[in-house]
Chains A and B, each alone.
Chain A
Amino acid sequence: DGGITQSPKYLFRKEGQNVTLSCEQNLNHDAMYWYRQDPGQGLRLIYYSQIVNDFQKGDIAEGYSVSREKKESFPLTVTSVQKNPTAFYLCASSSGGASGDTQYFGPGTRLTVL
Chain B
Amino acid sequence: QQQVKQSPQSLIVQKGGISIINCAYENTAFDYFPWYQQFPGKGPALLIAIRPDVSEKKEGRFTISFNKSAKQFSLHIMDSQPGDSATYFCAARSPGFQKLVFGTGTRLLVSP
Contact residues, B1-56 vs A (CB, 8 A): 6, 9, 31-32, 34, 36, 41-46, 49, 51
Pairwise interchain contact B99-A106, C-beta atoms closer than 8 A: no
How far, in whole Å, are A105 and B38 apart by their CA atoms in the complex? 10
Q: How far is the CA of A105 from the CA of B43 in the complex (A)?
A: 6
> Do residues A106 and B43 form an inter-chain contact, with CB atoms below 8 A?
yes
Q: How far is the CA of A33 from the CA of B91 in the complex (A)?
A: 15
A40 to B42, CA, bound (A): 16
Check: B102 CB closer than 8 A to any chain A CB: yes
B98 x A43 contact (CB < 8 A): no
Cβ of A45 within 8 Å of any chain B Cβ, yes or no, is: yes
* Contact in complex: B99, A58 (CB < 8 Å): yes
Q: Is there an interface contact between A98 and B95, defined as CB atoms closer than 8 Å?
A: yes
Kindly state the separation between the CA atoms of A107 and B36 in the bound complex, as whole angstroms: 14
Whether A25 is near chain B, meaning CB under 8 Å from some CB there, is no
**Are B42 and A107 in contact, CB atoms less than 8 angstroms apart?**
yes
Number of A residues with CB within 8 Å of any CB on chain B: 27
Question: Once the chains bind, are B98 and A41 in contact (CB under 8 Å)?
Answer: no
In the complex, residue of chain A having the shortest beta-carbon distance to the beta carbon of B104: A42
> Is there contact, CB below 8 Å, between A43 and B49?
no
The minimal Cβ–Cβ distance linking B50 to chain A, given in whole angstroms, is 10
By a CB distance below 8 angstroms, the chain A residues around B96 are 98
A21 at the interface (CB under 8 A from B): no
List of A residues within 8 angstroms of B89 by Cβ: 42-43
Contact between A43 and B102 (Cβ–Cβ < 8 Å)?
yes
A74 lies within 8 A of chain B by Cβ: no
A79 to chain B, nearest CB (A): 22
Are A100 and B104 in contact, CB atoms less than 8 angstroms apart?
no
Contacts of B45 in A (CB 8 A): 105
Within 8 A of B (CB), among A88-114: 90, 92, 94, 96, 98, 100-108, 110
Residues of A within 8 A of B (CB): 4, 31, 33, 40-45, 48, 50, 58, 90, 92, 94, 96, 98, 100-108, 110
Enumerate the 6 nearest inter-chain pairs by beta-carbon distance, A residue then B residue, closest first: A100-B32, A105-B43, A42-B104, A42-B102, A43-B102, A105-B44
